[in-house]
Homo-oligomer: A and B are copies of this chain.
Amino acid sequence: MNKTEARALPTAPPAGSPALPVRRATGDVRRRGRPHGRPQTKARILAAAEPLFLEHGYRATTLRAVAAAAGVDSALISYHFGSKRGLFGEVTQIQCARALDLTRAFTGDRDGLAERLLDLVTELWDEAEVNRLAVENEEVMRVFREYLEGEVLTRLAEYLGGHGATRRALAAVTLIGGLIFTRYLNPLPLAAALPSEEIRRTLAPALRAALAPTVRGPRTARATRPGV
């Protein structure tokens, strides 16, 4: 696909003196061995990797391209992060921490919970950049899974309480997961184009119903008791 764009390593002139040190564009000569001072290489690699992963995705981002962007040898990535997965893991851990905190929605009255949840999710994910790189990598999927189950579902069930709290939380997580999936991870044009107020209007009834206490008896009326 876009191979030509990400290609930046001419693999060095094969002939000539073999052990001649590479002269970078900046003019400094990279020698073997530990360099002087504290070059903060690990951070530089992370900073170089992040936009590349976001732009081209996991697969199409090569370690050699990251190394070139960071101005270091590609072997340093394996040295510092163990593997390409390891590097990606650290990058996405940064990314995810930014966008996965729903605590704000859990403070407030029970009645506005549905709207608060929807608004917060759209707000956080609209400006998060996890979107691109998420679907293709199973590490991200694992993080997201544990987030949905461990963070959202559990805390929601606690917040709700009462009869069938876990079931109601699961219904809500299904809807919220569906929102994130169809709007960010694998965006349907129609869902991605809607402004967040429209999202709230569209999904609030369903989310309210998901959160509402389930009827116990065989055929009770549809009254929603606010307490439990």
Chain A residues near B (Cβ < 8 Å): 135-138, 141, 144-145, 148-149, 153, 166-167, 170-179, 181-182, 186-191, 194, 198, 201-203, 205-210, 212, 214
Contact A214 B209 (CB under 8 A): no
Return A119 CB to nearest CB of chain B, in Å. Answer: 15
Contact B173 A182 (CB under 8 A): yes
CB neighbours (8 Å) of A198 from chain B are: 167
Main secondary structure of the interface of A (DSSP, over half): helix
Copies in the complex: 2
Distance in angstroms between the alpha carbons of A198 and B148 in the assembled complex: 19
CB neighbours (8 Å) of A172 from chain B are: 206
Nearest opposing residue in chain B for A187, CB measure? B145
Distance in angstroms between the alpha carbons of A149 and B141 in the assembled complex: 22
Return A170 CB to nearest CB of chain B, in Å. Answer: 6
Distance in angstroms between the alpha carbons of A192 and B149 in the assembled complex: 12
Given A175-B175, A209-B206, A210-B206, are A149 and B189 also a contact pair (CB < 8 Å)? yes
Given A138-B136, A149-B190, are A171 and B203 also a contact pair (CB < 8 Å)? yes
Q: Which 7 A-B pairs have the closest CB atoms?
A: A178-B178, A209-B209, A206-B210, A174-B178, A177-B178, A181-B181, A205-B209
